[in-house]
Amino acid sequence: MSGPLRGPVSLLACTAGIALANNYAIQPALGDVARDTGTSAAAIGLVTTAALVGCIAGFAFLLPLADRAAPRRSSRASSRCSRAACSWPRPLGGCGCCSPRT
């Protein structure tokens, strides 16, 4: 590959690799995380599984949309979805996973 796309493609490839590597980096500490949060090891294991499933779903379904939508429009939509996902449990009373322990 040559031309102006080489830099952005390399940046996106590195970003995807780092995002996936983060899922594997936490695995040795899952027992400690489960103990510190007071949950079972099986429940904590589901968190990393869900993260990998989310990455795969994003690669399969969201990346093709990038070819069809304008970059500014898709980045706005992505930002809105991220904000909604981060604030979703709060209006419902919260699930307790993000609240500080008392």
Q: List pLDDT tens digits, range 1-35.
A: 555 567 777 887 888 888 778 888 888 888 898 89
pTM, entire model:
0.52
CA distance 102 to 100: 6
Asked whether the CA dihedral 56, 86, 27, 47 is positive or negative, the reply is negative
Instruction: Please write the tens of the pLDDT for every residue from 48-90.
Output: 888 888 888 888 887 787 778 777 777 788 778 777 777 765 5
3-class state of residue 69 by DSSP: coil
Structural contact between residues 100 and 94, judged by C-beta atoms closer than 8 angstroms: no
